[in-house]
Amino acid sequence: MAADKKLLIDEELSNMKEVTKSLGGIELVTCVPELVRVHLRLTEHKQLSMCLQFPEDYPHSPLLIELKSRTLGDKLLDRLTKICEEEVKKKLDRSRYSSTFLMDNPLCSCSEEISLIKKELLDDGDELKLKQKNSQIVLRIRKKKYFMNFRVNVPDDYPKECVRTEVTDSNFPELLRMNFQAQAEEISRRCIQPPLKKTPKAPVFTPKPSLQPVCEFMIRESIKRYPEEVCPLCKETCLPDDPQTQPVEKSKEVIRVYCGHIYHFGCMNSYMNTPPFKGGKKCPSCEYRIFHHQWNVSPELAEARWAHKEARKRELDEVMDFLE
């Protein structure tokens, strides 16, 4: 029996050597009866090591499998180990299946982020679907009567490359929809690219995964936030309770400023054109200076315009008093 077992193991090892030669991204590190170790590498962040051992009563008992990775999450490795063990029982080739799993599941490089998104960001009524074939995460997020559908494209070399976000459907005002997507792209870029302007005491830039920061912005800081956001000036809800309410008066149109707060256009227009102007206008909610292209003038020019307007008003009032 011992001789039969040795012949069987030798045959298995020989087959393993032949299989690894025909598969790309696979390195056979060790191939002896005591231990078989295979390293699988698809990209820098999609790689794992697999250790196989023959049990004492092999082939009556299946191979012992251990998967390790510095880039893939523990939950994913546990799941993949269980799948491999099931496949081993069916006498399928171990290294081939693990490699195929990584290729067929490109989102494995962000599995932990996906778990956190499901756990921390989604509420009842929200939806998250994984499209492994297209390497996409499709989300439908709701808040009150508002919704936004968007998909996140995960590149093959993630997280070395950043994700791309695309809004596919929404009943938010078009201005906010465009802003959400543009800001998501900027957050994603900042995760992998150092600041254009370096500060002397800033720490060394280290790239980081971009999926979770983008989803936190899109879901928590935008879609879930703005349906309940009030105008800092009039203290009324900025967005109408029913997104189908039409038409919206010009004064009630929503604008978003650099700090992230939203206002009614009429409230902001009155605030920006009324003194005091010294030091620039600041957001009442966070005290950050307000920047917006529609009021892109210096405090001195804003005050001069207001003084000129007030002078004209006084002149008209004097004329009216004279005519009476």
Q: What is the pLDDT of residue 127?
A: 96
What does residue 279 show for φ and ψ, rounded to 5 degrees? 80, 0
Whats the size of the chain, residue-wise?
324
Q: Is 245 exposed, middle or buried (0-12, 13-18, 19+ CB in 10 A)?
A: exposed
CA 30 from chain centre, in angstroms, equals 39
The residue ranges of the chain whose pLDDT is under 50 are 1, 92-95
State the residue for tokens 């995964």.
209
- Strands of the sheet containing 146-153, edge to edge, are 127-131, 136-143, 146-153, 164-170
Tokens of 247: 């038409």
pLDDT digits (tens, 9 = 90+) for 297-312: 887 887 787 777 767 7
DSSP 3-state of 134:
coil
Taken in order of first residue, the domains within the chain and their CATH numbers are: 2-104 (3.10.110.10), 107-194+209-228 (3.10.110.10), 232-324 (no CATH)
pTM, entire model:
0.72
Q: What is the pLDDT of residue 93?
A: 47
